[in-house]
Structure 1
Amino acid sequence: MPIKAILTDIEGTTSAVSFVFDVLFPYAQKHLPDFLRNRATEPAVATQLEAARRESGEPDADIERVVEILLGWIAADRKATSLKALQGMVWAEGYRAGQLKGHVYPDAVAALRRWHEQGYALYVYSSGSVQAQRLIFGCAEAGDLTPLFSGYFDTSIGHKREVESYAQIAVSIGLPAGEVLFLSDVVEELDAARKAGMHTCGLVREGASLTGHQAVASFDAIDPAGY
């Protein structure tokens, strides 16, 4: 079956890992405490604070304790959906203020534009929230890339190393898994996508190896028609 859709990871794939760890995480760590103190009663924020309390097992934690918990999760790079949502809100303010610009590799920008023009449906699957995904691509250094994408997926559909997550994404896209090409820099994610029936291609920008999968150093080397 020919490829009709391309599903891509962000961190280490379309964008530098250093952007997340050296720019986004420190920004959230610096601005999250005051953001939560000032906006804790807003419904969208309050919902995520309650989710964080449940996940931490501290349902009665006051705002200062929740701040402490969330900062600890940031330091540990914990993939908590509530944390990702709150980080996304903080980043949104940073992007709107012009303090943040999304990093997307030039080769990824060129390929995504080319594939869109060729008629491939493009989707994103990242552990970062959908909001954060839209911000990276919508406020990218290369301009607004969001018109290129047909949809976004985060861990609310399932974790990235679980086969069922990719099966659910294929259902959501409305295509057989065999018509989807998944791009990532993590072998366990590629393994899960392949077991779900997707085609895979690994990105090895830092020279790592991805055992058992075709791997390339740049989006320039990916030809969806070759799968």
Structure 2
Amino acid sequence: MIKAIITDIEGTTSSISFVKDTLFPYAYEKMADFIKVNIENKIVKNIIIQVAEEAHINPNNIELIISTLRQWINEDRKIAPLKDLQGLIWENGYSNGDFTAHIYEDAYEKLLYWHQKNIPLYVYSSGSVYAQKLFFAHTNYGNILHFFRDFFDTKIGNKKESQSYQKIIEKIAIPAPSIIFLSDIEAELNSAQEIGMKTILVDRENQIKNSHHHPIVKSFTEIDLKISNSDIV
């Protein structure tokens, strides 16, 4: 009996290309100017300190800070200060109308259906919670932020480590067997499954021939959890 759904974003609700080809390059291009203009901002200052500590470099060397952050973008590193800074930069992009977050039609329709059924929905993504909220507040279907009860990022733990999912179930207070996790990354699903969550592998690009551990769907349309209102706590 499913009582909650946790979903990934990139490759699951939304296209990988939007993140890789729009969001990441935008942050890369705007990063230097953003840091220099906002150098006295307390949040930006704190991010710079965190970057310096992580990379073991001088926080006063702003050019090195910027080049380090850009290197992390190129390497697709899941590092908290980078994700926090990207979120701040993307906020400008959304506000200026430079781009709109992409949601697959099937994902939007299913998320709307589950929301209307009062099924608790959560997001767990490597992007910062701040960036996740910006994303769902500026989609091609409008602001759907209200669909979700809560958001989780790598501050709760690595998505490929089972203890991260344990922390999530403790926070939302729903037993693991009553939760289903949706992702396009099998290693993440394995970790969720280790602590008892149910899982579905979303393979939009039809790249996975088979999975011995997780049901595979090509879109949210194929997900039929047979949930009724009586199942919801």
What TM-score do the two structures reach when normalised by structure 2? 0.94
Deviation at 1:60, TM superposition (A): 4.2
Residues of 2 paired with 1:60 and 1:126: CA distance? 28
After superposition, the C-alpha distances for 1:72-114 in whole angstroms (9 at most, x for unaligned) are 1111111111000000000001001111200010100000000
Give the % identical residues: 42
Aligned to 1:69: 68
2:205 is matched with 206
2:148 corresponding residue in structure 1: 149
What does residue range 1-227 of structure 1 map to in structure 2 within 5 Å? 2-209=1-208, 211=211, 212-225=213-226
- Distance between the aligned counterparts of 1:104 and 1:150, measured in 2? 18
Name the aligned partner's letter for residue 214 of structure 1.
P
Structure-2 separation of matches of 1:121 and 1:223: 16
The superposition leaves residues 53-84 of structure 1 with CA deviations (integer Å, 9 ceiling, x where unpaired) of: 10111144511110010011111111111000
Residue identity opposite 1:118 in structure 2: K
Alpha-carbon spacing, 1:60–1:93, altered in 2? closer, same or farther (3 Å): closer
Q: How many residues align?
A: 226
4+ runs of 1 displaced by more than 2 Å? none
**Over aligned residue pairs, what C-alpha RMSD do you find?**
1.3
Query: How much has 1:119 moved relative to structure 2?
Result: 1.7
Question: Secondary structure of the equivalent of 1:188?
Answer: helix
The answer to whether the 8 Å contact 1:7/1:125 transfers is yes
| Alignment partners' CA distance in 1, 2:99 and 2:80 | 22
Q: Answer whether contact 2:49 2:59 (CA < 8 A) is retained.
A: no
Q: Find the counterpart in structure 1 of residue 230 from structure 2.
A: none
For structure 2, the 5+ residue unaligned runs are: 228-233
Q: Distance in 2 between matches of 1:181 and 1:203?
A: 12
Does the 8 A contact of 1:181 with 1:224 survive in 2? Answer: no
Aligned equivalents of 2:26, 2:142: Cα separation in 1: 21
User: How far apart are residue 128 of structure 1 and its match?
Assistant: 0.4
Give the structure-1-normalised TM-score: 0.97
